[in-house]
Amino acid sequence: MALRTLDSLGTLAGKRVIVRCDLNVPLKDGTITDDGRIRASLGTLRTLIDAGARVVVISHLGRPDGEVKPQYSLAPVAARLGELLGKPVAFASETIGEATTEAVAALADGEVIVLENLRFQGAETSKSDDERQAFAGELAALGDVFVSDGFGVVHRKQASVYDLPQLLPSAAGSLIETELRVLDRLTENPERPYTVVLGGSKVSDKLGVIEHLLPRVDNLLIGGGMLFTFLAAQGHAVGKSLLEEDQLDRVRGYIADAEAKGVTLVLPTDVVVASGFAAEASHETVAADSIETTAFGADGIGLDIGPDTASAFAKIISDSKTVFWNGPMGVFEFEAFSAGTRVVADALTKVDGLGVVGGGDSASAVRALGFTDDQFGHISTGGGASLEFLEGKKLPGLEVLGW
């Protein structure tokens, strides 16, 4: 079956179209610090507005665990969406209820309303099919048609992602279409050399994608907190750096498997070691096999790849035709430990081919470090969803759309 797209829904003028977006943006003191996910939703929303639809936007924000927590309100998101669309966007202070039903009924053609955080309702993420379906039914009553455009949640079996599209005529929005086109290029006959760069904190988060991609890539570069488990698997001391001891045997298996398959597995040759996990911590750059030789001894903690490693990574990336990067190279939020991530991001902008930033923390990192979205081939909106797709998993939110 083929993915159902907006064209399959026919004329939308005058229809109430519920759009599941992923507007899970980072907030600090009520202020949005990265509006990338809101911007990514604009294409589909403008298409619907121009078609004369009455647009009902639903999303989650954070993990309020079924409770109403003001810090997770979508009110600031609705305000920012209005600014970006250049038109008023209404906000319903409840996800469901009489006031919300009335506000949606009052919409005119081309108007937009954002409903309050889906996850204020425990049924949204419930493991109970009955609970999810009941909540999905209440949402479905608000609309005539459903459009799924929150790629960051399509790997979740949740009410608004999995159950709701089964209750209304449904299709994928243009954001999901774009994400799938790019991910398809990463899995089906990618242009070579093909390089995957993995960082972030834990190896355990990347197990499936490493296994699935090892037979498919030319180069696998390892940075971030996960690098220390690889170093420890080779017998090196890592001080107080992040270490998953229960993954050591599995990592040794990956190292052997990469060699057997002719994949170039590149581990850091130098790291930045700090006295502690703090922005102003004292730090030294040392060889990757000499972490405990710094002034901090066995108390040292690795917080970034070193400059030699960053240069080596950059050369491999810029010489590649296809690159997928997921996970920062270090603690980029601290200026002293952001250099590795900055160098990798810069190299990705120079790829003569397809360079993909794999969502999540990677997307936040490139924007925080001053890069713009148009400098990259693609910035994914779904870190976890992208990884699960690349692992070859079935994603429930796509299956219900015919994928």
Which residue numbers belong to the known binding site for ATP? 206, 302, 333, 359-362
DSSP, collapsed to helix, strand or coil, labels residue 150 as coil
Encoded amino acid at 13, one letter: A
3-state DSSP assignment of residue 272? strand
Is the separation of the CB atoms in 366 and 344 below 8 Å? no
Q: What is the C-alpha separation between 148 and 18, in angstroms, rounded? A: 8
Tokens 């298409």, located at residue = 47
Q: Is 384 annotated as catalytic?
A: yes
CB-based contact 213:220 (threshold 8 Å): yes
Residues 6+ apart with CB under 8 A from 20: 58, 59, 146, 147, 148, 149, 150, 153, 160, 161, 164
CA angle 258, 264, 268 (to 5 degrees): 105
Please enumerate, by residue number, every residue annotated as part of a binding site for substrate.
22-24, 37, 60-63, 119, 156
Catalytic residue among 37, 54, 80, 367: 37
199 catalytic residue (yes or no):
no
The alpha-carbon radius of gyration of the chain (Å, integer) is 22
Q: Exactly one of 152, 360, 382, 397 is catalytic; which is it?
A: 360
Query: What residues are designated binding site?
Result: 22-24, 37, 60-63, 119, 156, 206, 302, 333, 359-362
The yes-or-no answer on residue 360 being catalytic is yes
Q: Which of 202, 216, 250, 393 is catalytic?
A: 202
Token pair of 275 as six digits: 């006295």
Q: What is the enclosing helix (H) or strand (E) of 57?
A: strand 54-58
Residue 232 to residue 248: CA distance in whole angstroms: 7
The residues assigned a catalytic role are 37, 202, 360, 384
